[in-house]
């Protein structure tokens, strides 16, 4: 590894960490403005242009608020819980590729991905499954009935939807025969169908439409977003697992949720929407520019990062969109959907995929 | 590979420390959380040894799925009874525990001293695995080609265990039990009606 590669690595870790830190305040603003848009009201519009600095004001408030610890909690675990949910939410983004690579020559390759592990997606799944401990711990340490109910709901929900999530992923892994996210994104650059001038790319969603639906629903359930936000269902159990939390600790729990959303969006984009593969006009523009040498590589990567960002932002907006469109499930409906619909469907998907691969259709 | 001994002893030490917590902590939930950290330290050791797939699976299966289920059950039962209290154990049991622990430790020492370690190494050195495309590829190729039969037999065994668990959980009530319950319900309703009438 040359010095440049090491600096590049540290640089991308720093930049991605900063993005993840700023993700929560920005998404909080998007969510509030989006809610207002859909409910025909204004939303925060007083501080800064379009109320953009509202989140900064909220952040300052969170930091300077009195940091109270209720008397009835189990102190050690109460303080530990927000951190336990925050750390995995940062780690999971490490294996997602947000651009392809640049060959500097002399065996030096710059990868636009923090860690290209050979376990790939399994790393994300493993670390993401640890995030639930933060929620369980916060509910248990709070020593309050509602918080306890919230964390019990959360753990059973996580267990139920992890199954269909993993099984729906197997379809994608079978098609691209790799667990490395970089390989999966690269393989989606091929053309699936040529309809005259329009080339349909070999994106995951065109090969695995059912798998995509199951995976997306499971991501909603795993991130505790509406319509699956039973763990914090305000109208039933007040605020669920973060009922006893205030000031920055509460903000950290929220941050973890938004970071999980970002990772979920990144996974959806990478597995089913071609990852860093260029979006429609960008690819054409790039081939028209007819650049060469180093410039071509950097422009290509810039276009790829742009495409990836657009895809991720779309899914972030999709999370908000769904939240203000669908009502919350009842608890038994949630369990029925997970075990009686999603799980059999993901098995069917797996079977169909296996048959199609063995007959050489895909 | 030159820094791995340090990490090995670090995570090995952590694993032992948290194993002690599992046994010594009074609250069952705290014990369970410590067990999660034990599994996590194991995963770290696997990762340091270069077995990334096993590390990921260790976290995914043990720390991420099985322990969540454990904690879920413990919290559902809401046990406030301390799981371990040395003052409540009988003297004989304490003595037996000490003797058994020392004997087990002795057995381990004896085995490691007398077995022919290091055993003969197979072809799977770290560099050979790297050449063949990494852990995940090598393990899955072996599992689905050479060892497909044991793999399938294991999954059938797990399936049988699962069916057994469901059968026990959904045990059919005998007809006598059903009748008895119906009678009890009727009595209860009659009693409630009588109370209501008195009001």
Give the residue-averaged pLDDT of B137-155: 87
CA distance A283 to B101: 67
Give the model's confidence band at B102: pLDDT under 50 very low, under 70 low, under 90 confident, else very high. very high
pLDDT tens sequence for chain A (362 residues): 678 888 888 888 899 889 888 888 888 888 888 888 888 888 888 887 888 888 888 888 888 888 888 888 888 888 888 888 888 888 888 888 888 877 777 777 778 888 877 788 888 888 888 888 888 888 888 888 888 888 888 878 888 888 888 888 888 888 888 888 888 888 887 777 777 677 777 787 888 888 899 999 988 888 888 788 877 777 777 777 787 887 888 888 888 888 988 998 998 988 888 888 877 777 777 777 777 777 778 888 888 888 889 999 999 999 888 888 888 888 888 888 888 888 899 999 999 988 988 887 77
A215 touches chain B (CB under 8 A): no
**Angstrom distances, CA of residue B105 to CA of B11, B38, B101, B111:** 21, 20, 6, 10
User: Which residues, numbered 103 to 122 in chain A, qualify as contacts with chain B under a Cβ-Cβ cut-off of 8 Å?
Assistant: 117-120, 122
Whether residue B199 has pLDDT greater than 50? no
What is the tens place of the pLDDT at every residue in B11-70?
Answer: 889 999 999 988 888 778 888 888 888 998 998 888 888 788 888 888 888 888 888 888
Q: Does residue A163 sit at the B interface (CB-CB below 8 Å)? A: no
User: Predicted confidence band at B1 (pLDDT cuts at 50, 70, 90)?
Assistant: very low
Contact A251, A12 (CB under 8 A): no
**Residue A299: which residues within 8 A CB-CB, separation 6 or more?**
A286, A289, A291
Return the closest-CA partner of residue B135 out of A91, A112, A179: A179
For tokens 């705290």, name the residue: B30
Residue of A nearest to B130 (CA): A118
User: Which pLDDT belongs to residue B178?
Assistant: 74
Q: Write the Ramachandran bin of A327: left for phi over 0, alpha for psi from -120 to 50, otherwise beta.
A: beta
Q: Which residue among B36, B52, B60 places its CB closest to the CB of A133?
A: B36
Helical axes A131-141 vs A145-176, angle rounded to 10°: 170
Question: A-chain residues within 8 Å CB-CB of B57?
Answer: 122, 126
Please tell me the distance from the alpha carbon of residue A113 to that of residue A304, in angstroms, as a whole number. 12
Whether the Cβ atoms of residue A178 and residue A187 lie closer than 8 Å to each other: yes
Q: In chain B, what percentage of residues exceed pLDDT 90?
A: 16
Q: What is the mean pLDDT of chain B?
A: 81
Q: Give the pLDDT band (50/70/90) at residue B81.
A: low
The answer, for A148 touching chain B at a CB cutoff of 8 Å, is yes
Domain chopping of chain A, boundaries:
69-105+114-358
- Model confidence at B82, pLDDT cuts 50, 70, 90, reads low
User: Is the Cβ pair A117, B75 closer than 8 Å?
Assistant: no
Token readout for B40 is: 């996590």
3-state SS class at A198: strand
Q: Tell me the C-alpha distance between A126 and A19, whole Å.
A: 22
Q: How far apart are CA A277 and CA A308, in angstroms?
A: 7
Q: Do A129 and B72 touch (CB under 8 A)?
A: no
Angle at A294 between CA A292 and CA A298, to 5 degrees: 100
- Asked if B72's CB is within 8 angstroms of A119's CB, the reply is no
- Judge contact between B48 and B11, C-beta under 8 A: yes
A258: helix, strand or coil: helix
Contact A133 B57 (CB under 8 A): no
Q: What is the DSSP string of B178-195?
A: HHHHHHHHHHHHHHHHHH
A271/chain B closest Cα distance in angstroms: 18
Q: Which residues of A touch B137 (CB under 8 A)?
A: 118
pLDDT at B32: 86
Whether the predicted pLDDT of B106 surpasses 90: yes
Residues of B in contact with A132 (CB under 8 A): 64, 68
Nearest by CB: A126 against B29, B60, B135: B60
* Residue A81: closest C-alpha in chain B: B33
DSSP codes, A280-344:
HHHHHHHHHH---HHHHHHHHHHHHHHHHHHHHHHHHHHHHHHHTTSPPPPHHHHHHIIIIIIHH
Q: Which residue of B has its CA nearest to A162?
A: B65
Which has the closest alpha carbon to A327: A247, A250, A233?
A233
Task: Test B33 with A77 for CB contact under 8 angstroms.
Answer: yes
Place of tokens 């990478």: A270
Residue with tokens 């798998």: A211
CB atoms within 10 A of CB B144: 11
Of A239, A240, A212, A217, whose CA–CA distance to A227 is shortest?
A217
| Of A196, A215, A195, A197, the residue nearest A205 (C-alpha) | A215
Find, among B122, B138, B44, the residue nearest to A118 by Cα: B138
Show Cβ contacts of residue A193 under 8 Å, excluding neighbours closer than 6 positions.
A199, A200
CA dihedral of B65, B70, B72, B73, whole degrees rounded to 10: 140
* Domain B1-84, CATH number (from 1.25.40.20, 1.20.120.1200, 3.40.718.10, 3.30.360.10): 1.20.120.1200
Q: So what's the ipTM on this one? A: 0.76
A35's CB contacts (< 8 A; 6+ apart) are A43, A320, A323, A324
Other beta carbons less than 10 A from residue A274's beta carbon: 25
Cβ partners under 8 Å of residue B152, min gap 6: none
Asked if pLDDT for residue B148 goes beyond 60, the answer is: yes
- Contact flag A118-B65 (C-beta cutoff 8 Å): no
**B108–chain A nearest CA distance, Å:** 32
To test the contact with chain A by mutation, choose from B21, B26, B56 the residue with the greatest count of A C-beta atoms within 10 A, namely B56
Quote the CA–CA distance of B167 and B134 in Å, as a whole number. 41
Average of pLDDT values for B99-108?
Answer: 94
What one-character DSSP code corresponds to residue B59?
A: I
Q: Quick check: B138 contacting A, CB < 8 Å?
A: no
Find, among A353, A337, A359, A324, the residue nearest to A39 by Cα: A324
Q: Is A201 helix (H, G, I), strand (E, B) or coil?
A: strand
């Amino acid at each position: 590894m040359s010095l440049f590669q090491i600096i590049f690595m540290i640089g991308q870790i720093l930049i991605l960490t900063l993005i993840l830190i700023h993700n929560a305040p920005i998404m909080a603003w998007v969510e509030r403005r989006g809610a207002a848009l859909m409910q025909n009201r204004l939303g925060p519009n007083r501080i800064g242009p379009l109320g953009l600095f509202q989140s900064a004001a909220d952040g300052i408030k969170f930091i300077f608020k009195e940091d109270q610890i209720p008397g009835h909690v189990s102190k050690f675990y109460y303080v530990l819980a927000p951190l336990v949910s925050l750390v995995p939410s940062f780690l999971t983004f490490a294996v997602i590729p947000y651009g392809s690579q640049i060959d500097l020559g002399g065996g030096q390759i710059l990868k636009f991905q923090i860690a290209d592990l050979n376990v790939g997606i399994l790393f994300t799944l493993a670390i993401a499954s640890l995030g639930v401990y933060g929620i369980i711990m916060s509910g248990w340490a709070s020593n309050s009935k509602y918080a306890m109910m919230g964390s019990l709901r959360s753990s059973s929900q996580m267990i139920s939807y992890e199954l269909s999530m993993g099984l729906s992923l197997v379809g994608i892994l079978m098609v691209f025969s790799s667990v490395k996210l970089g390989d999966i994104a690269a393989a989606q650059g091929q053309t699936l169908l040529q309809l005259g001038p329009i080339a349909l790319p070999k994106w995951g969603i065109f090969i695995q439409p059912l798998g995509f639906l199951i995976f997306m629903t499971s991501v909603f359930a795993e991130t505790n977003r509406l319509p699956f936000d039973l763990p914090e269902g305000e109208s039933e159990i007040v605020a669920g697992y973060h009922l006893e939390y205030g000031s920055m600790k509460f903000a950290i729990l929220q941050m973890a949720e938004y970071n999980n959303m970002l990772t979920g969006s990144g996974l959806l984009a990478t597995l089913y929407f071609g990852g860093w593969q260029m979006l429609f006009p960008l690819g054409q523009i790039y081939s028209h520019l007819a650049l060469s040498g180093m410039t071509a590589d950097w422009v290509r990567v810039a276009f790829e990062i742009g495409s990836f960002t657009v895809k991720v932002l779309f899914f972030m907006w999709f999370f908000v969109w769904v939240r203000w469109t669908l009502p919350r499930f009842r608890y038994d409906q949630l369990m029925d959907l997970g075990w009686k619909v999603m799980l059999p469907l993901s098995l069917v998907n797996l079977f169909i995929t296996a048959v199609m691969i063995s007959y050489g259709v895909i | 590979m030159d820094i791995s001994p340090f990490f090995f002893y670090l995570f090995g030490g952590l694993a032992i420390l948290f194993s002690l917590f599992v046994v010594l902590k009074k609250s069952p939930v705290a014990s369970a959380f410590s067990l999660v950290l034990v599994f996590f330290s194991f995963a770290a050791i696997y990762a340091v040894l270069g077995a990334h797939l096993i590390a990921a699976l260790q976290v995914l299966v043990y720390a991420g799925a099985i322990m969540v289920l454990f904690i879920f059950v413990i919290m559902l039962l809401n046990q406030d009874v301390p799981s371990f209290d040395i003052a409540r154990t009988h003297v004989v049991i304490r003595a037996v525990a000490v003797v058994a622990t020392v004997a087990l430790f002795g057995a381990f020492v004896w085995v490691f001293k007398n077995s022919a370690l290091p055993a003969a190494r197979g072809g799977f050195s770290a560099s050979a695995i790297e050449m063949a495309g990494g852990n995940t590829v090598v393990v899955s190729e072996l599992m689905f080609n050479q060892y497909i039969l044991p793999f399938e037999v294991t999954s059938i065994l797990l399936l049988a265990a699962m069916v057994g668990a469901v059968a026990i959980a959904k045990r059919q009530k005998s007809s006598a039990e059903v009748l008895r319950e119906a009678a009890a319900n009727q009595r209860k309703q009659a009693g409630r009606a009588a109370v209501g009438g008195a009001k």
